[in-house]
Amino acid sequence: MPWGADGYSVLDLTLLDRHHGTIAAWRDAISEIHQRGMYVVLDNTFATLGDMMGFEGYLNESTPFAPGEHDAVWKSDRRYHDFVQSNEELDTCNYPRFWDDSGHQVTNLSDYLVGCRDSEFDQYGEVASFGNYPEWQRQLSKFAFVQDRLREWRPSVLEKIQHFSCMTIASLDIDGFRIDKALQVTVDAQGAWSSYIRQCATRFNKTNFYIPGEMVSGNSFASVYVGRGMEPEMAESNLTEVVSGNGTNREYIRDLANSALDGGAFHYTVYRALTRFLGLDGVYAAEGDPPVNFVETWNALLQTNDMANAYTGAFDPRQ
């Protein structure tokens, strides 16, 4: 039972919106769903919240991306209770790793991204929902001009996101999180969060907690997030080895303990293939997307995505 949509904007990660029912009502509903042999997967926006912050000088227009960040201002007297905004400048910051559309790590930003604000929010500017932006800029920008972005790559912020997500599992007995806008989360933070959440879920007798993600970009970039993550050169040509070899001889970006996403939901690579196959759009494609022929599509996904189960390491495709 996925819940949510791209447009919602969280104001407090510790509260259940009473418009959607009480905790008791949710628990009763989820218990009934479980008794019928079904599972409950909730949307998790991970690093985007509401629209309570703007940028000085740009409250009535879009804010351009700035590596030195902008001074943030509150749009009203409302505040987030658990996350702190600051305009204090730090000379150096420990930036995360970034990848580009081609699925390769971006290594030329060390002179461009140096300092940052001592804030738990990214204050680099804004980007539209869709547009031609480097992936790393999407991950640092306010989403679609209306969702403030947490600096999830800062350890203090990630710890709080992890804790609040674990509270949801403990409170509602859910079976998975679908990560909304998953490719806009820095991938190492996503892997660390997923590892924490699997351990949290195990405490509540859930030993195969499901973590898929929405994948808007092409397959080359999305494959960095699936499982242990793969760059194009790590692709496996032998499909038999992929399906039966448990991946022991393959190379990955991360280890199994930091597997990020279990698969795609929804995966725009497949969606774009469907639109072209059905004649709805002849040009809707992204970098790294495989051919439209569905046998070739699936074979390419097998070769370029780590589909090992994060708990067992066994081949377990859940795209």
pLDDT tens-digit readout, 291-304: 888 999 999 999 99
CA 177 – CA 2 distance, rounded (Å): 9
Residue 73 has pLDDT above 80, yes or no: yes
Least confident of 21-35, 179-193, 243-257: 243-257
Residue 49 has pLDDT above 90, yes or no: yes
Residue 7 has pLDDT above 50, yes or no: no
Helices 155-172 and 187-203: angle between axes, nearest 10 degrees: 30
Helices 268-277 and 294-304: angle between axes, nearest 10 degrees: 160
Average pLDDT for residues 142-154, to the nearest whole number?
A: 95
Residue 17's pLDDT is: 86
Average pLDDT for residues 267-274, to the nearest whole number?
A: 91
| Residue 210 β-bridge partners | 176
Residue 101's pLDDT is: 94
Residue 280's pLDDT is: 87
Q: Annotate the chain with three-state secondary structure.
A: CCCCCCCCCCCCCCCCCHHHCCHHHHHHHHHHHHHCCCCCEEEECCCECCCCEEECCCCCCCCCCCCCCCCEEECCCCCCCCCCCCCCEECCCCCCCEECCCCCEECCCCCCCCCEECCCECCCCEECCCCCCCHHHHCCCEECCCECEECCCCHHHHHHHHHHHHHHHHHHCCCEEEECCHHHCCHHHHHHHHHHHHHHHHHCCCCCCECEEEECCCHHHHCCCECCCCCHHHCCCCHHHHHHCCCCCCCCCCCHHHCCECEEEEEHHHHHHHHHHCCCCCCCCCCCCCCCCHHHHHHHHHHHCCCECCCCCCECCCC
CA 264 – CA 211 distance, rounded (Å): 9
Residue 34 has pLDDT above 90, yes or no: yes
pLDDT band with cut points at 50, 70 and 90 for residue 1: very low
Residue 5's pLDDT is: 38
Q: 153-194, pLDDT tens digit by residue?
A: 999 999 999 999 999 999 999 999 999 999 999 999 999 999
pLDDT band with cut points at 50, 70 and 90 for residue 281: confident
